[in-house]
Structure 1
Amino acid sequence: MLLRIGLIALLALTAPARAQQASDTVAPEAAGAGSLATSAEARASFDAKAAGRPVEARNWMISAANPLAVDAGAKILRAGGSAADAMVAVQAVLGLVEPQSSGLGGGAFLVWYDGASGDMTTLDGRETAPLAATPQLFQDADGEPLQFFDAVVGGRSVGTPGIPALLHAAHTRWGRAEWAGLFDDAIALARDGFTVSPRMEAMVAGDAERLARHEVTAAYLLPNGAPVNAGDRLTNPAYADTLRQLADHGTAPFYTGDIAADIVNTVRGETDNPGVLAKVDLAIYAVKERAPVCARYRVWQVCGMGPPSSGALAVGQILGLLEGTDMAALGPRSPEAWRLIGDASRLAFADRGRYVADSDFVPVPTAGLVDPGYLAARAELLGGDDALPEVSPGTPEFDHSLNRADDAAIEMPSTSHISIVDQYGNALSMTSSIENAFGSRLMVGGFLLNNQLTDFSFRSHRDGIPIANRVEPGKRPRSSMAPTIVLKDGKPVLVVGSPGGSQIIGYVAKTIIAHLDWGMDVQAAVALPHLVNRFGPYELEIATDALDLAVPLREMGYETNARPLTSGLHAISIGQTLLGGADPRREGIAIGD
């Protein structure tokens, strides 16, 4: 059956994925991941995930990427804290125990449903380009784009981090617990030590050469010249000190104090590939509250983060293009279902590449891209029996001239996701990232700095036509992060999101279809093998029953590639009870009460 994925199959992902340097695609070894669970609740949750069962609760639920982080958030919720409080605790621990994925040196998008008012909003904590950045930031002396890792490693790729400001903004709006106490678990783990996970070991080993280029990073992750090993006890006193400053003084030390100075000196002082980040860039950074982007899908509203993220738009377009199809009747084993999903995704990515960028800098036809009439017209392209031979952007309704060049900027599969529902009816979906695994490889204050600026297009124009996602001072790079809350009759029924670079869009759309159309519980939906199509070739998850669809998809005209597709989906369904699911491809769990 297509649902069969199993831990044996997941183990098979590890060996080939180790060779994929700097791509956060290593699946955890089952026993090792289970050993990370320290509380009885965490161990029971891991057992449920291993057995393919969701975790059930009545009052609150949290699902995130590491048992130590989930335990920290659960303590806050159990003591009466809000989802925003718990998120701060979780993110602080994640930055320690999976530093390759997210942390204080990165950024995030947060979607919030308010249980008291029924209102939804989003917080944009995305990194910004330095004021000294130019559209030629990632070009050589001849105006040609740099090779990806020549741009990534070092200071050039570092944008102004947004995570600390986002944590503080969310707590200020929706927190109930004392700010300082939210960092207690992370500080204790950093000071006293935590157990290195199999995933962290594999990621460090796979990127050792790049990590070794920077003295501070190498000293921490490659002690005595060798990668840290799973089971090692690792301390990070510098991170404990950073968190203590945040706990005691808020975000001021990070954006205008000693931490800010250290960040700037590290970025600009990198001899091989210096950046242009300055103190003023940190001092003026601000989180932006934005209206959510919501798309209709049958009886549901699927809501998420709008520009500069393409996540909610692309997920909404995929679902909207499938609105007229009885996906439930086709089912998850149907090649026709995956033809429709695959070509709907390709159409969404075509629009994404032309139109989506930071809407503070470039007009984006946000409403037009998810307009039901526009999507119904585009859906007529799906009426055949075979793969579309080619796709091109559509022409959504908009009141600006849109002479834009197409662009497919690289987004590497790293990142982390947190889903939380609290006892007050609040729901939170947050995806956070430092972009590529280990980001820029520069470490300051016990945390890694992002390389998010490489999410911009390396070109500013194509054939004389401007690219929407080009580098500009103060601009936020386009993202595929898709933190999502699904509503029915104005009430949340599903909280979901995933890491995975531009594959995030496919992971989230598949999970929503699996849950809403195919009736799978959240654990089955997140575990369902992946089939992802972004630009034409169909990516099929290795060592799963997704490979059974390779032949029929090729007969429809697709090129197929078997590869690791290591999402990190974390989902909560909301009904008579709360059901939590955590992706078996990674180390995370769900805990509820």
Structure 2
Amino acid sequence: MLAGLAGCGGSDSSFISSKTPVPDDGVKPPDVPVVRTVKFDPALCQQQDGAPYGQTVGISGTNLMVTSADVKASAAGCKVLAKGGTAIDAAIAVQAVLGVAEPFASGMAGGSVITYYDAASKKVRTFDGFSAAPATTGGVADIYRAVAQDVSSTTPFNICKSGLAANTSISSQQGNTNISGRAVGVPGTLKVLDLVYQSYGKTPWNQLWGDAIDLANNGFPMTPYMYKTLFADTAEYDDDGNLVSAGSGVSAWVNSAGTAKGAPRCKYPDIKARYCDATDASGQRPLAVGTIIRNTDLADTMQRVRDGGAAAFYNPAGPIAQAVVAKIGAGQLPCKSILPVAGTVAAPSVATTIAAIPSLMTTADFGSYRAVERQPLVGQRLGMTIYTQPAPSFGGVVTLYTLGLLERQNIKALPAFNGAQFVHLATEASRLANADRRNIVGDPAYSNIKERVNALLTPAYLDARAALITSTALGTVTTGGVADGIPAFAANADPANYDTMAALTVPAAKARQARKQAAVMLAKADRPAREEDWNTTSNIAIIDGYGNALSMTTTINTHWGAHIEAAGMMINNAMSNFSASTPGLDVNGYAPYKRPRSSIAPAIAFDASGKMRLVWGSAGGGPIPDYIVKTFLGHVLYGMDLQAAINADNWTGQNGIAELESGKPIANLVPNLITTYGNTAANAAATGLTSGLSGIAVSYDANGFPIYKGAADNRRNGGANGY
């Protein structure tokens, strides 16, 4: 991106351009290098105008930029960059603050993936820190089945449900199990941050935690968005974004039939103790917006990590791993799984008990976890080269697949972004992409995922799939198979020896290091259709003063994860992302050490000349790749300011139907999709699509020096910070 790099420290850095400005008289003098000076001064950091919630235009800067889903986190990141830190340094500080201020979305007890651009080598690298299954999984096909301990009458175990037998369903409607210790995966966020830091960190590790520790000790406010994750004052939406009723009270889950609802989140003891109003007679209302919340337990945990590094977190004999395992295990949570009696869709019954289904995780699982580097997924789309996350992320696949179909449908010729024809094409492309990814994408250590993904993204296959899109919506979407050129599923006989970097051309020493990092493979995946949460997770985008860039998506999976707090951290429920039924059970089934697939896919795009143009990603569950595609099209193809493209109304086809963001003008297109484009009332609907986008657009001045435009989704509490 930058022609040269002179130094990495001090109060400024100089970058050289070979261009010489032409004076007013039109006579060009001999070429004299033009020097770009990057200033390092925390006093220069500025927050995006209108943020949070009111931002309409991105903030501009020429030195450095950071953006995230929380304004305090972005400010902490800018401070690190402005002191000479690198993108990964700032990402650690941003993630630390997000873990305090957005406990419902991400934190050290979750998983993350990182797409990193190294300006010195001009290379993009992708790193996987997804949460993973423990070594012991009880020999069952999915997390919704009882293991031997669940049916034992020996203390501290109790029978989960009367008459339950081993390998039978603990919760046939899944809601209980999804929010329990059984759904907890081994956290990967801190490990992947540490892995990238080993290559690119500059600021001492122990100097990156101060803002987050202070915030946890001194307090942070209940935000409007956090409040909405706990309670709805008007219409109530479930975690799939579907309208449940016009009343209030957000349940933690709603069964697939819509007849039974979980207890409100403030009924869960750990959430209630810290985030809910103790004076509320109903026991379900959170603290009022603006109420100061403190988390000294989390401050203590971060201090241990600050002083002892990632090793302090993953040490099986250390207090953090022991606290987490003790809290989610059988000693703390004797098994109990009781579903409410089913009601009707119009009046779902509500659970009065909280499920307690213990984890099978041990502290040894913390010690065996490894973050891994993977080969980036790369595609040329609409004049840009996009680097994104490979499997077990399906988000990268869907991003490139959807854009590939839309490119073939000549979407750039359409006059109206988010107009009726645009939305028809976009949702049809998304429906096709998501139908295929469910059969194909999972942990690449366990089967021939990479070979099958490559086949999905070949020009010939995309040509054939694009031809299925006409002016009339598909009634149903069928998936491709062997007859279409997709290789048959083939299990990997030895996942533990899978080399994630085998296809890369790297020096022998680095190859050996990659093999060592991949020696123990742990893995992640998503729930079947209609079960993926819409509104969770968090995204970070950073460009530092040296031209390095990072896009990172971080998550504890669904809102509030397992609804369990340990050592001040909300714990993930990532294993609820494993498939419990076909399609996808073969590629995304539950197994020891395996990583379930995920929609998260932070990306970086470059133009035809190799200049970086966009660093972006999103939160928001299953439709994340659609939010990424929408933003790319709005900004790159239609020339919108990045903030306007991010704020634009959302759409998705990820559940096999065209869904448009409710409460926004785009929802008015639903009747048009039915009458003009042949959808039915069953496959076109308005629903809750709450994205969490953040990104940085890059343009260049006459000297070839970058101009950054930082933006963050106005649906969340974020904003950009830089100068």
Whether TM exceeds 0.5 here: the answer is yes
Name 1:294's counterpart in structure 2.
378
SS of structure 2 residue aligned to 1:486: strand
Name 2:595's counterpart in structure 1.
476
The amino acid that maps onto 2:303 is R
Q: CA deviation at 1:214?
A: 4.8
Q: CA deviation at 1:295?
A: 1.6
Q: CA deviation at 1:343?
A: 1.2
Name 1:565's counterpart in structure 2.
689
Structure 2 distance, partners of 1:287, 1:121, is: 13
Matches within 5 A, 1:328-407: 328-330=412-414, 331-364=416-449, 365-382=452-469, 384-395=470-481, 397=485, 400-401=488-489
Name 2:96's counterpart in structure 1.
92
CA contact (8 A) 1:427 1:492 kept: no
Q: C-alpha root-mean-square deviation of aligned residues, in Å?
A: 2.2
Q: Which of 529, 552, 566 is the equivalent residue of 1:408?
A: 529
CA contact (8 A) 1:57 1:592 kept: yes
Matching of residue 321 in structure 1 with residue 405 in structure 2 = yes
Q: Which of 84, 94, 115 is the equivalent residue of 1:111?
A: 115
The amino acid that maps onto 1:135 is A
The amino acid that maps onto 1:478 is R
Q: CA deviation at 1:62?
A: 0.9
Q: CA deviation at 1:203?
A: 2.2
Name 2:199's counterpart in structure 1.
173
Name 1:260's counterpart in structure 2.
321
Name 1:194's counterpart in structure 2.
220
Q: CA deviation at 1:93?
A: 0.4
Structure 1 distance, partners of 2:47, 2:118, is: 31
Name 1:429's counterpart in structure 2.
551
Change (3 A) 1:535 1:154: closer
SS of structure 1 residue aligned to 2:107: coil
Q: CA deviation at 1:372?
A: 2.0
Cα-to-partner distance string for 1:87-135 (whole Å, 9 max, x where unaligned): 1000000011110011111001110111111111111000111111132
SS of structure 1 residue aligned to 2:50: helix
The amino acid that maps onto 1:270 is L
CA contact (8 A) 1:216 1:443 kept: yes
Q: Bigger CA drift: 250-259 or 71-80?
A: 250-259
Which ranges in structure 2 are unaligned for 5 or more consecutive residues?
Answer: 1-42, 147-164, 232-249, 253-262, 281-285, 335-355, 492-526, 701-706
CA contact (8 A) 1:532 1:539 kept: yes
Q: Bigger CA drift: 425-434 or 359-368?
A: 359-368
Structure 2 distance, partners of 1:355, 1:342, is: 20
Structure 2 distance, partners of 1:466, 1:229, is: 42
Matching of residue 233 in structure 1 with residue 292 in structure 2 = yes
Name 1:419's counterpart in structure 2.
541
Cα-to-partner distance string for 1:304-336 (whole Å, 9 max, x where unaligned): 111111011111000011222332321314322
Q: Which of 72, 76, 84 is the equivalent residue of 1:72?
A: 76
CA contact (8 A) 1:69 1:90 kept: yes
Structure 2 distance, partners of 1:303, 1:99, is: 29
Name 2:652's counterpart in structure 1.
532
The amino acid that maps onto 1:336 is Q
Change (3 A) 1:425 1:580: same
Structure 2 distance, partners of 1:417, 1:77, is: 18
CA contact (8 A) 2:529 2:655 kept: no
Q: CA deviation at 1:137?
A: 2.3
SS of structure 1 residue aligned to 2:640: coil
Cα-to-partner distance string for 1:361-414 (whole Å, 9 max, x where unaligned): 1211122222222212221112x21101221122364555469xx953732121
The amino acid that maps onto 1:583 is D
Name 2:395's counterpart in structure 1.
311
The amino acid that maps onto 2:108 is L
Cα-to-partner distance string for 1:476-527 (whole Å, 9 max, x where unaligned): 0010112111122333211111111111121111111111211112011101
Structure 1 distance, partners of 2:642, 2:383, is: 19
Matching of residue 135 in structure 1 with residue 141 in structure 2 = yes
Cα-to-partner distance string for 1:186-230 (whole Å, 9 max, x where unaligned): 001111112221222232334584545554443222363652221
Name 2:567's counterpart in structure 1.
445
SS of structure 1 residue aligned to 2:112: strand
Which ranges in structure 1 are unaligned for 5 or more consecutive residues?
Answer: 1-38
Q: Which of 606, 616, 625 is the equivalent residue of 1:505?
A: 625
Name 2:153's counterpart in structure 1.
none
Name 1:8's counterpart in structure 2.
none
Cα-to-partner distance string for 1:2-29 (whole Å, 9 max, x where unaligned): xxxxxxxxxxxxxxxxxxxxxxxxxxxx
The count of corresponding residues between Structure 1 and Structure 2 is 549
Structure 2 distance, partners of 1:548, 1:223, is: 37
CA contact (8 A) 1:139 1:458 kept: no
Q: CA deviation at 1:244?
A: 0.4
Q: CA deviation at 1:545?
A: 1.8
CA contact (8 A) 1:345 1:506 kept: yes
Structure 1 distance, partners of 2:269, 2:196, is: 34
CA contact (8 A) 2:113 2:129 kept: yes
User: Which is greater in Rg?
Assistant: 2
SS of structure 2 residue aligned to 1:296: strand
Name 1:7's counterpart in structure 2.
none
Structure 2 distance, partners of 1:552, 1:441, is: 40
Change (3 A) 1:311 1:320: same
Change (3 A) 1:177 1:255: same
CA contact (8 A) 2:47 2:720 kept: no
Name 2:712's counterpart in structure 1.
582
SS of structure 2 residue aligned to 1:74: helix
Name 1:62's counterpart in structure 2.
66
Change (3 A) 1:192 1:307: same
SS of structure 2 residue aligned to 1:575: strand
Name 1:102's counterpart in structure 2.
106
CA contact (8 A) 1:48 1:54 kept: no
Matching of residue 495 in structure 1 with residue 580 in structure 2 = no
Q: Bigger CA drift: 323-332 or 189-198?
A: 323-332
Q: CA deviation at 1:251?
A: 1.6
The amino acid that maps onto 1:189 is L
Structure 1 distance, partners of 2:206, 2:333, is: 33
Give the number of the structure with larger relative contact order, counting CA–CA contacts within 8 Å between residues 6 or more apart. Answer: 1
- Identical residues among aligned pairs (%): 34
Change (3 A) 1:136 1:529: closer
Q: Bigger CA drift: 62-71 or 134-143?
A: 134-143
Structure 2 distance, partners of 1:399, 1:152, is: 32
The amino acid that maps onto 2:174 is F
Structure 2 distance, partners of 1:48, 1:466, is: 40
Structure 2 distance, partners of 1:48, 1:585, is: 9
CA contact (8 A) 2:71 2:717 kept: yes
Structure 2 distance, partners of 1:549, 1:471, is: 39
